[in-house]
Chain A
Amino acid sequence: MIPEKIKKYILTVILKKLENAASQDPNFDKSSLGQIKEILSQSKYSDKTLEEAKKLDLMLPTLDQSLVEMKAKTPLIQNIGHVLQTRKLEKRKKYLHVALNSTLEEAREIISQLPISDRILIEAGTPLIKIYGIDAVSQIKKMAPPGTYIVADNKCADLAAREVEMVANAGANASTCLGVAPIETIDSFIEECQKFNIDSMIDMMNVESALAVLKKLKKLPDVVMLHRGVDESEFSKEKQIPYYQIKQIKGNYDVLVAVAGGDTIKEVQRAVFNDADIVVVWKNFYQSSTETAKLVESFLREIK
């Protein structure tokens, strides 16, 4: 149960965020605004209790948790929790995206060693999601410092609406969809991500021309991810990340470009030098967590 005064505080914050969103988007459905205002007006707590609630040590995870509970109980305010919990990526910032793929125990170990920075994105990798289910996303969100940007690498191939809703509810800030998926799926994926206010990332693995895929879409995704598959890089080393594509994509479309596959700080620097906004590094099970933590530290130090 959420104490009434905290609920009032949360609702006030949500209301502000929604009003903000509504002022920017003419198509915004304003019906939820009225509903929240009504709930607020019925609350027996005064604005003074509201100030007290604000003073409480409201860490983000608690807040998110309350929102999840609230959503379950109040269908009226479905989805609006995402407006509050979502952090979006900023242009002109360089990010390091750490993909966690082995086990949740290891994820905990590596997360505890990472320095705190808003330039570090943490990913619940595909194998983790398939092994632990969507719990992998919520667990990693809990392990990470409050407010950390969490990517769910669900690699959607079909039934986009169902997957996006699931990862957004688990607290992810971004979801991934395969660039090789049917165009109908990618279009639906981007629409759903916008609906849930999370970033959409299109993973161009095994796509011959990322530009050709982008050209066919109704709306642009937030992020385009270029890479070689992991299996690919293990078995045929000669395949290179197509760096020239970064400029090509950014020259034509207003999207962020992520480049996957960097094991050393040199490779990371090279990607950034070639205009990548996000560099994805993997924490493989054969590597020690310290190694990954060191790479993250040098990224924060050397790439501004």
Chain B
Amino acid sequence: MLDKRTKYLQIAFNRSLEEVKEMIGMLPPSEKILIEAGTPLVKKYGGRGIAALKTWWSGKIQSPGYIVADLKTMDRGSREVEMAANAGASAATCLGLAPIETINEFVKNCEMVGVDSMVDMMNVEFPFEVLQKLKKLPDVVVLHRGADENERNREKQIPHDQIHRIKGTYNKVLISVAGGETLRDVIRTYFNDSDIAVIWKSFYEKPENTAILAGEFLKLVK
């Protein structure tokens, strides 16, 4: 489970398992680094992809590694969550765009199988309002813009005011912000009161940079 007083760096993997294996080898071992099995990776390899990440990362840090299964659940949440938990995930994600009933089910199922619930607010205009409708709060709220959106429309912004609003009202929820690709982005993310910074893109451009970024990050949060 995540500690509220710590800052985390989450690194998302979206491509082939071979690539992930190599890249995990380059990362500094730390429990402050969370490894994400990205949605395309889950859809490509299924549960065995999640299990492979678990094995490699746990081997690297010499203790059970924290793996996020980015399921982006939209419906039929229970089976996916169970599968992710069985594969060794410590957290699973659900879309904030899903029907409220689905999110409620998802949060409940995560609790039942003992994984952290993350609600991904991509394309949700008012994340705060989604939270208000839920029976029970998730462990983490993920605020970000989709990768396709970023690519095709650079004007939209991450709603930083939403972070303060959520933090101010629900102090038990952790905030994860995706999209930072430089140390400065990561630091800025934390100044905005978030707990987890998610990075992914730099991995495909220059994997070494991500390893350096992770190293710098660890020095910073010591």
- By a CB distance below 8 angstroms, the chain B residues around A185 are 146, 148-149
- A235 near B105 with CB under 8 A, answer yes
> A181's closest neighbor in chain B, by CB?
B123
- A80 to B76 Cα, complex, angstroms: 35
- By a CB distance below 8 angstroms, the chain A residues around B45 are 133-134
- A158 near B47 with CB under 8 A, answer no
Q: Kindly identify which residue among B40, B72, B76 contacts A166, using a CB–CB cutoff of 8 Å.
A: B40
- Whether B153 sits at the interface, judged by CB under 8 Å, is yes
Given contacts A101-B76, A131-B47, A182-B149, 19 further A-B contacts (CB under 8 A): A125-B76, A127-B83, A129-B43, A130-B46, A130-B71, A131-B46, A134-B45, A136-B46, A157-B72, A158-B147, A158-B148, A159-B147, A180-B123, A181-B97, A188-B148, A188-B152, A205-B74, A230-B76, A232-B102
- By a CB distance below 8 angstroms, the chain A residues around B42 are 130, 133
> B200's closest neighbor in chain A, by CB?
A159
Q: How many A-B residue pairs have CB under 8 A?
A: 130
- Whether A28 sits at the interface, judged by CB under 8 Å, is no
- Whether A73 sits at the interface, judged by CB under 8 Å, is no
User: Which residues of A114-144 have CB atoms within 8 Å of chain B's CB atoms?
Assistant: 125-127, 129-136
Known contacts A159-B148, A162-B14, A182-B146; decide if A229 and B79 are in contact (CB<8 Å).
Answer: no
- Whether B151 sits at the interface, judged by CB under 8 Å, is yes
Which B residues are within 8 Å of any A CB, using their own CB? Answer: 14, 38-40, 42-49, 71-72, 74-77, 79-80, 83, 95, 97-99, 101-102, 105, 122-123, 145-149, 151-153
- Whether A38 sits at the interface, judged by CB under 8 Å, is no
Q: Which 9 A-B pairs have the closest CB atoms?
A: A133-B46, A180-B97, A229-B75, A184-B152, A158-B146, A185-B148, A133-B45, A231-B102, A235-B101
- B151 near A184 with CB under 8 A, answer yes
- By a CB distance below 8 angstroms, the chain B residues around A154 are 43
- Whether A277 sits at the interface, judged by CB under 8 Å, is no
> A185's closest neighbor in chain B, by CB?
B148
Q: Kindly identify which residue among A135, A188, A231 contacts B75, using a CB–CB cutoff of 8 Å.
A: A231
What 0/1 readout, one digit per residue, does chain A (58-78) give for beta carbons within 8 Å of chain B?
000000000000000000000
- Whether A163 sits at the interface, judged by CB under 8 Å, is yes
Give the shortest distance, in Å, between B185 (CB) and chain A (any CB).
19
What 0/1 readout, one digit per residue, does chain A (140-180) give for beta carbons within 8 Å of chain B?
00000000000000110111101100100000000000101
